[in-house]
A and B are shown apart, each in its own frame.
Chain A
Amino acid sequence: MRQEPIELILLKQWSSYVAVPIWITDVDGNLIYYNEPAEPILGRRFDDAGEIPADRISQLFFTSDPDGQPVPNSELPLVVALTDHVPAHRLMRIEALDGSIRLIEVTAIPIIGQAGRHLGAMATFWEPQ
């Protein structure tokens, strides 16, 4: 019976209670959850979008820098957190699932569990005032 690590279980539960947008990926970069406050920014309810494999994420969410220039995948905050295991922050544009384009600030941190296990990454994001 497959079960997620306790660190991810607790993170998902915590995310479902807080009022800031949270996005969680597993260690392979697959989207495994985003919470209700993230839904208006991403343009779709998580219950409708469901989990998204890593290779589909860049096809569904088009990202660019604030001037509209493409951002290499390796420089996206979540990718940096997943691959380099360090926090990362960036101002960027995103085309959401409802087709709207939004300017957002993204901060991603790696999820490193007990015994140094790399379990994934999480990001919070918001639209600058």
Chain B
Amino acid sequence: MRVTLWGTRGSVARAGAGTVRYGGDTACVEVVGSDGTVLILDAGSGLLNVASCLPPTTTRVDLLLTHLHMDHIQGLGFFRPLRSSETETHVWGPVSTTMGLAERLARYLSPPLFPVRLRELATEWHDLEPETIQLGPFRITSDLICHPGPTFGYRVEENGRALVYMPDHEPALGHQRFPSDRRWTSGCGLASGADVLIHDAQYTEEEYAERVGWGHSTLGQAVAFASQAEVGRLVTFHHDPQHTDEMLDHLHRQMAETGTDVEVVAGTAGSTFEL
């Protein structure tokens, strides 16, 4: 599979000279299978970049939402294939105990918050439970992870390789020591042994101290989690909108100097890797 990061920023899009290299668009990752099957993970503002790069031969796109916070859905209304009958589109997201996925999304995708109504989009909506499904060559497992509101992490497997995507995740929440027991750590089962883990690394240690419970991790926690889950490579993600390229360089350099048993790659918009 080929994985491209189209939006790596967390919380809110941040364009400007300070976010050129890591990117200012919010969460969106494209995964293309060996047979050309296209998966898109999250629909942040980075989704607009995907539309312009999709091959004209693409007949179907499956879009998997981890959760419905604004920075993960704000690209939906601007994604051309959702308004076109030429491409079959399916949107998947976490089931809720109260309302269906489409009904929850319609709270945003309707006036006065947005001029286009959800029902005007030509797509199929799928409520996804914690389960495993097959989409083309991809075996996809969804599981709930620690973040406010029902939030999924996804494990995407093809040909024995595994990509795990946890853009918003606070596995350290409530732990008096972290990391500790794998069995009692959010996301550890899903991430176990993955070749690549794309994971939340939003905060510095100082920022986290003031934002415990907000659903995000520090770079150090992301590394500790990746090590605990025995993943091959950690790609940092969901960069804080206040963190400039320079600051992110510094944080990743600091982490590299401390030495880790996990390969850490800074998630930058537009970067592509093969599994």
Contacts and interface: CB of A to CB of B under 8 A. Distances in A.
B100 to A, nearest CB: 12
B95 A115 contact: yes
B172 to A, nearest CB: 10
A56 interface: no
Contacts of A13: 173-175
Contacts of A115: 95, 97, 129-130
A35 B193 CA distance: 32
A2 B184 CA distance: 9
B174 A114 contact: no
Interface of A: 1-7, 9-10, 12-14, 16-17, 113-117
B28 to A, nearest CB: 24
Contact of A5 (B94, B144, B174, B229): B144
A1 B94 contact: no
Given A1-B189, A2-B189, A3-B182, A9 B97 contact: no
Given A7-B144, A114-B130, A16 B183 contact: no
Given A1-B182, A2-B183, A117-B130, A9 B146 contact: yes
B262 interface: no
Nearest to A13: B174
B174 A116 contact: no
B189 A3 contact: yes
A6 B189 contact: no
A4 B190 CA distance: 11
Contacts of B193: 1
Given A2-B189, A17-B174, 10 more contacts: A1-B188, A1-B189, A1-B192, A2-B183, A5-B130, A9-B185, A16-B174, A114-B97, A114-B150, A117-B129
A116 B97 contact: yes
Contacts of A17: 174
Given A13-B175, A114-B144, A115-B129, A6 B186 contact: yes
B61 to A, nearest CB: 25
A6 B146 CA distance: 7
Interface string B162-199: 00000000000111100000111111111011000000
A10 B189 contact: no
Interface string B136-149: 00000001111000
Contacts of B229: 1
Contacts of B94: 114
B242 interface: no
Nearest to A7: B144
Contacts of A16: 174, 176
A12 B129 contact: no
Nearest to B174: A13
A113 B190 CA distance: 18
Residue of A10, A12, A115 with most partner-chain B CB within 10 A: A115
Contacts of A4: 183-184
Contacts of A6: 143-146, 186
A1 B179 CA distance: 15
B96 interface: yes
A31 to B, nearest CB: 15
20 contacts: A1-B188, A2-B183, A3-B184, A3-B187, A3-B188, A3-B192, A6-B143, A6-B186, A7-B144, A9-B146, A9-B184, A9-B185, A10-B173, A10-B174, A113-B144, A114-B94, A114-B95, A114-B97, A114-B144, A115-B130
Contacts of A1: 182, 188-189, 192-193, 229
